[in-house]
Chain A
Amino acid sequence: MANGLMNGALNRKVMFLLGPVTGLVMFGAVLMVATFLTNREYKEPYRAPTSIVEPTPRVDGLAAERAAAEAAAKATPYAEAEYRTFPIVGSRVAIWAVAQLHLLFAAFVLAVPLFAFIIEVIGYKTGDPRYDRLAYEFTKLLSTSFSLTATFGAFLTFMLIALYPKFTNYLMSVFSPTFLPYVLLFFFEAFFLYTYYYGWGKFHPLVHLGLGLGLNLVGTGIMLIANAWLTFMMSPRGISDQGAVLSVWDAIYNYTWMPINVHRIIANVAFGGSVAAAYAAFKFLQAETDEERAHYDWMGYIGNFVAISAFLPLPFAGYWLAKEIYAYSQTLGLTMMGGAFSWLFIIQAVLIGNLFLAANYYLWLGMGRVAGMQPLQKFIKFLLIGIAVCFAVWATPRSIIATVSELRAMGGSTHPILGYLGVMSAKNTAVNILILTTFMSFLLYRRTGKVATVSWAKMGHAAQLAIFAAAAFIVIFLGIYGYFVEATVRIGLSVPQVSSVLAAMVSITAIDVFLFRGASKTGEVRWGKIPVISQYVLIFIAVTFTWLMGLMGYVRSGLRQHWHVYGIIRDNSVDAFTPTLGFATKVVSVTVLLFFLLIGLVFWIASLHDRPDFEQRTKAGRAGAHDTETGEVSPDLPVATPGA
């Protein structure tokens, strides 16, 4: 007992020291970085003061030399540096990593309010408090993330000014009218975010929803301004051949601005949903009660639902962006799809294939939550085969690096049979069928444990099946037709393919809503009753989404190759070359790891909110110790209620 008390006192002393020691370590780290950076500057070697040195011809000569050097230095006019070098990794990698981390946190901070707001609206409309709790739980992740986004934003700005001063100055000269609105919006964002978070339950629900709407509008406004800067670099407009500004609005509303805006909003939601689902998965794994498991299973499901719902239309937004890139410059488009970056899209295919596989697997595992899922289980193997085939087609390269003997055996740089699958006709078909298949998994999950009771149920099912079949037929037919027509016709075929898939998704969902209205239930959803591996699948999806964002961010930026502003401001730095894909994927991986390290910190800080107060825990600890000694169980132990 005495030993225990002594250990407790010692632990408290150690814990008391933890804060200052951490602070000192951080201060020491900053000092080391500052010393390292300043040590790289030239310093004159130490010389004894003249007063204690005997005047000799050599000493006089040295003094004269020093005076001349000093005079020359003073006479040198100020010259703006074009580039500066970041130590060890170089300027490009440093900017790359910081920009990527800033964008990942920004995407999360923009996405979470979007679906938190929608969930809160559902809670308000249905009167179900679970939705309100869930929306609040998502919002809890925002506060710390917002601070990190701002920190990385400031870091990125300083890095750009320090490492690429001339180019940054040029961008500032073009976009200076956008800076004040940006700063104002940032203030508004902070206002809305903190009032939305801290005002939860403190206002009338409609007032609170208004704050949420304001947060989303302001956040989107910030993103639109920042997107103008980066899309201008890729597809400049509103300037002369020499770069002089002709129209700031044209510079903002350049070719790729709106496609990037739309693509980013959708991708942010998909990414934010997946990270929120990963948070829920992590909490599920740590949960100690069935109640907690049920709550976090539900939260993970909603997060993943948001992610996959946004992920399904994402390829269509991607098509639009690619189309605009081609419309702006065929060279840029072909560099992307047929030149230096063409192999990057094979890596992208691996990632997206994994996402589809994992998302479907999670849905299939989720069917186990409901009794009576057996009739639907028989479809899963067909869906799996469909996904695997589409994945294989999408990941087929058009031409491959091969040895001379392999080339001879193939009869050329492309495989005589598989080479036909490496072209866009086949790939467009594969991705559209993948989307249809995943959508079918969603539908199967939705109807697990339910039986339609409307009088036209049979006809409804038949109509849904017919629409599915028709969409699949159109997609496959146009995919094959693309091999037999000229390039001008073939390029346009992706539009009816995409349209038929979208039309099928909308019409089938509409039928489904009415079909299962008042459906009888064969089994209740048992939240929390799902294999543990499903939670690792959610984390895998979040990591894959993040990595995919890193990769696609690289191609968007890297496409400019040796240009800061494409065709206008050339990159003359030592980093003007385009690195290998192997190098790029290493940088992306390191950045993603850093992001997950930091998001782990965000999760931990958010979880402090649910932690019982120290006093309560201490009392509970004492009571527990007493009960253990007496063999009784205390009925008053405080229990953390997640999301309460």
Chain B
Amino acid sequence: MHIPHTIRVAALVLATTGFYAYVGQLVPQKEVQPPQETTLGPNTSTADMVKIGRGIMEGKGLCLTCHTIGKTGALRFPDLAGVAVRAKTRVAGLSDVEYFAQSLYEPTAYVVEGFPPAMPPMNQPPFSLSDNEILCVIAALQTLGGTPTVTLETKHHYNSGTAAPAGAPAAPAPGGAAPPAKAKQ
């Protein structure tokens, strides 16, 4: 049976587009919803903060897009397993809470050796985490090798209005005006 070339070409176009659409169905299907605002009340406990902080790390903050927990090898960004222990002594003069706060508000201040200076400030767009949300992330980070101590009343350099630690560079501007963001653990 002779099939006209026009029909054959149409069938080829249909089959090719159909095949690629089919390939698209074979990969994992995930719908990403816009981040929701976190509700924090005056009675939010440290344990609740840990849960909320972990949720922010996985979702709105996109922390786990770059950082791993418990992986070794050729990593692109520092692994977070045991970070609560390292944070206490990482930078002389900074407590673990101060170090975590510096890492989240001003990631360029200290960059772990061997990793690119690529982490963006979390209190600025596109994340725009609030001070309380950042406290929750700190609580979650404290559980990685330690015990969470922060509460919503905890004060550090960046939410108490005091000056930033000496030697820290000014926070970069957001959006396109920002210089390349830096990585931080």
Contact = CB atoms under 8 A, between A and B. Distances in A.
B14 interface: yes
Interface in A457-515: 482-488, 490-491
B2 interface: no
A237 B177 contact: yes
Interface stretch (B46-54, B89-97, B110-118, B158-166): B110-118
Contact of A339 (B12, B62, B118): B62
A566 interface: yes
Contacts of A582: 24-25, 27, 29
A486 B116 CA distance: 9
Nearest to A397: B27
Interface residues of B, number: 49
A421 B2 CA distance: 46
A582 B124 CA distance: 32
B20 A241 contact: no
Mostly, the B contact residues are: loop
Nearest to B33: A577
B20 A547 contact: yes
Nearest to A578: B32
A488 B173 CA distance: 24
A330 B12 contact: no
* Most chain A Cβ neighbours within 10 Å, of B33, B66, B175: B175
A334 B66 contact: yes
B167 interface: no
Nearest to A350: B23
Contacts of A425: 74
Contacts of B176: 235-239, 250, 254-255, 328
A486 B74 CA distance: 7
B20 A347 contact: yes
A544 B15 CA distance: 11
Contact of A335 (B65, B76, B116, B173): B65
B13 A334 contact: no
* Most chain A Cβ neighbours within 10 Å, of B8, B13, B62: B13
Contacts of B183: 330
B41 interface: no
Nearest to A551: B20
Given A330-B119, A567-B175, A596 B23 contact: no
A152 B26 CA distance: 32
Interface in B10-52: 12-14, 16-18, 20-21, 23-25, 27-35
Nearest to A576: B34
A331 B27 contact: no
Given A340-B30, A340-B32, A539-B12, A335 B174 contact: no
Given A330-B119, A339-B62, A483-B74, A581 B27 contact: yes
A516 interface: no
Interface in A262-314: 282, 285-286
Contacts, number: 165
Contacts of A551: 20
B21 A578 contact: no
A297 B61 CA distance: 55
Interface in A391-428: 401, 423, 425
Nearest to B61: A331
A618 interface: no
Nearest to B78: A487
Contacts of B18: 589
Nearest to A236: B176
A579 interface: yes
B16 A540 contact: yes
B34 A543 contact: no
Contact of B16 (A344, A488, A547, A579): A547
A343 B32 CA distance: 14
Contacts of A109: none
Interface string A579-595: 11110111011001100
Interface residues of A, number: 71
Contact of A330 (B33, B118, B125): B118
A177 interface: no
Contact of A285 (B5, B17, B30, B116): B5
Nearest to B20: A547
B99 to A, nearest CB: 20
Nearest to A414: B71
Contacts of A237: 175-177
Contact of A486 (B13, B24, B115, B119): B115
* Most chain B Cβ neighbours within 10 Å, of A241, A338, A487, A577: A487
Contacts of A547: 16-17, 20
A383 B42 CA distance: 68
A160 interface: no
Interface in B143-184: 173-178, 180-181, 183
Interface of B: 5, 8-9, 12-14, 16-18, 20-21, 23-25, 27-35, 62, 65-66, 74-77, 114-116, 118-120, 124-127, 173-178, 180-181, 183
Given A331-B120, A331-B127, A582-B29, 10 more contacts: A285-B8, A491-B116, A536-B8, A562-B34, A568-B125, A577-B34, A581-B29, A582-B27, A589-B17, A592-B17
12 contacts: A238-B176, A239-B177, A328-B176, A335-B62, A485-B74, A487-B74, A536-B9, A539-B12, A561-B34, A566-B175, A567-B126, A584-B24
Interface of A: 235-239, 241, 250, 254-255, 282, 285-286, 326-331, 334-335, 338-340, 343-344, 346-347, 350-351, 401, 423, 425, 482-488, 490-491, 536, 539-540, 543-544, 547, 551, 561-563, 566-568, 570-571, 576-582, 584-586, 588-589, 592-593, 596
